Structure 1
Amino acid sequence: MVNINAHQLGLLIDKTVGLIGGEYTVPLNGIRLDVDATHLYAVASDRYTLAVARYRLLHDDQGGQPFARLIPGEYLPSLREWISSQAGSTYISVSAADHYVEFGGTHTELRIGVEPDLAYPDWRGLLRTITEHTVDGEPFPALSASFMSRWAATGDNLRVRVTADKQAVLVFGEDFIGAQMPVRFAGVGPMKDETFDAVRRQWDKTLAAGADGLDMATDMTAEDDWPRHEVTKDVYETGEELLQQVLRSNVDVHNTPGRTTSPEFLAHITAAVHGWMAYRFLDALHTADPRFARAVVAEVADQLDSGEIGEFAWDAAKEAGHDPQKWHDEYEAHLKKREAEKAAAGAPAA
């Protein structure tokens, strides 16, 4: 068990909650509370970003039993609301059992169910590798987080160029260029260290426990229960894949034996037609509202990664006023009729 100021616990959650993974990536859909001998960490990642906020434990807590548990995303609003109900200066106890994490306040307690054996990336090793790739002596400007959030409105994948220390950082996007000035006080930490090497040393003991040579591009997706094929969330890449699907299916149509009669022929025709329809719809949507098109592509990518599109389609059909059960029954009857016709055609003559 560890103790933390209620205000500080709320701050840990606020700093990391915006970076948690989606509901279809269960191992990352939440904030991981990780305790070692000196700190309580809040860790969040969506596989593309990784954030860690920490709180130095009270002297009496240091040397306690380490633990790490993922607080599921669905419970984070309730936890944050409960923390807000405590006086900011109140100390909250945090303890972990096999299947729950318990938060103890002055008058109330909150218990949240967790999966104790849920795999999580080696965040210490990942960040350790990244910090070791950076060479001291390069520009190390401090950027205001509130200003950085303003670039989200561009909707682009932005390239960043650090020009010189205490000088503007350049930002490039699709038909877009911008710059952001660093803040006046560039220091980090209680001693206001200004060099990268000095700031990195603040985390040396924490990150030393991580493995060597990890890479976010590969080691964030190594778990077997994570998506094996990552669907792109980029509009242009999605359009490219759709057009490739149309052209590949068109080739398969002409190369299929028993054209016009085989199920493979009909499958390739369907894939080509639906691929072309999807591309035209996406192109029209992107022309009319690029921002909305990006949001739709990202949402669809998450749904495809989840592997539950059959359930989504069933629910969408019902919401649109259709009868998916009737469709299912009619298609089952069609398959049975086709099988009966095949059997009759293959039976020997009387």
Structure 2
Amino acid sequence: MSVTLPDLPTIIRQLTPHIGTDETLPVLNGIYLEATGTHLYACATDRYTFALTRRKAPETTQDTWSAVIARTDLTALRALCPTRRHAAELTLTHDRPTTRTPDGSLTVSDGTRSLRLSANAPLAGHFPKWRPLFATALAAEPQLTEEAHYSAAFLARWAHAPTNRYEPLTTWSAGPRKPLLVAAGHDFLGLQMPIRHDDRPGAPDDERHDRTALRTTWTDTLNAIAATSRHLTAA
């Protein structure tokens, strides 16, 4: 099956920050692709954040496939479709595993040049089941009535989610220990797991991050009345 995409560089940019780097989990060391006949889905995760995006297929087909583009292949793929160049349509052609190519292959072509990559079929078959995770998070009502803690470094990853600089992010969570759901437009979803902090009663204020501790440490500053300033006058 072949799928033509006008914005493959955008998909790569959206997902690259979420690719896992733990070499003991090779299934997470790349971008997962899944073609359903109506859409192409692409996602990446390192278990702390999970990014998912979709593109509608130009034509509906009955053919379905999945593949993983390894992180090590992204450099060659970026060279084929540099983001500084005028956007060009790229065609992804998937070839199923055979005796000679047990991993299957994925060919990316811009009409004049082509790049053949491993489809990494064994890894694709073990990629995390993303549908239940996102279905649960998307269905949950916002219930963040207590403070939640998130990694600032992980939050920065979502800066790559919007397709343009004016597109806002929409976020909500079903609770402080539930994933934060992030949406950019209608074709990008993300999940970020919260950080668990020590919330034992009696913990030192400088080790606590709840609202009570913050109000205590900031009250004097925010409620202070500015002293009357003195000005120098000419003799």
Smaller-chain TM-score range? 0.5 to 0.7
1:123 Cα deviation from its structure 2 partner: 0.6
Is 2:30–2:44's contact at 8 Å kept on the other side of the alignment?
Answer: yes
Q: Which has the higher contact order (CA 8 A, sep 6+)?
A: 2
Is residue 109 of structure 2 the alignment partner of residue 109 of structure 1?
no
Q: Output aligned runs, 1:125-274, within 5 Å.
A: 125-135=132-142, 151-152=152-153
Quick one: distance in 1 between partners of 2:169 and 2:64? 31
The aligned residue for residue 157 of structure 2 is none
* Aligned length, in residue pairs: 157
Quick one: distance in 1 between partners of 2:91 and 2:16? 20
Is residue 4 of structure 2 the alignment partner of residue 9 of structure 1?
no
The 1:187/1:50 distance shift into structure 2, 3 A limit, reads closer
The 1:70/1:187 distance shift into structure 2, 3 A limit, reads closer
Quick one: distance in 2 between partners of 1:111 and 1:186? 36
Per-residue Cα deviation, 1:83-136 (whole angstroms, up to 9, x for no partner): 118953422110111221111122111001132132111111111111122249
Gaps of 5+ in 1: 140-147, 154-182, 189-198, 207-215, 218-233, 238-350
Is 1:20–1:45's contact at 8 Å kept on the other side of the alignment?
Answer: yes
1:124 to 104, 128, 131: 131
Q: Is the radius of gyration larger for structure 1 or structure 2?
A: 1
1:64 Cα deviation from its structure 2 partner: 4.4
The aligned residue for residue 231 of structure 1 is none
The aligned residue for residue 73 of structure 2 is 75
Is 1:13–1:42's contact at 8 Å kept on the other side of the alignment?
Answer: no
Report the structure, 1 or 2, having the larger strand content.
Answer: 2
Give the aligned residue type for 1:112: L
Quick one: distance in 2 between partners of 1:185 and 1:86? 20
Structure 1 residue runs of 4 or more that deviate by more than 4 Å after TM superposition: 183-188
Is 1:21–1:29's contact at 8 Å kept on the other side of the alignment?
Answer: yes
Gaps of 5+ in 2: 98-103, 155-164, 171-182, 199-235
1:36 Cα deviation from its structure 2 partner: 1.7
Determine helix, strand or coil for the equivalent of 1:129: helix
RMSD, aligned CA: 4.1
**TM-score, length basis structure 2:** 0.55
**TM-score, length basis structure 1:** 0.38
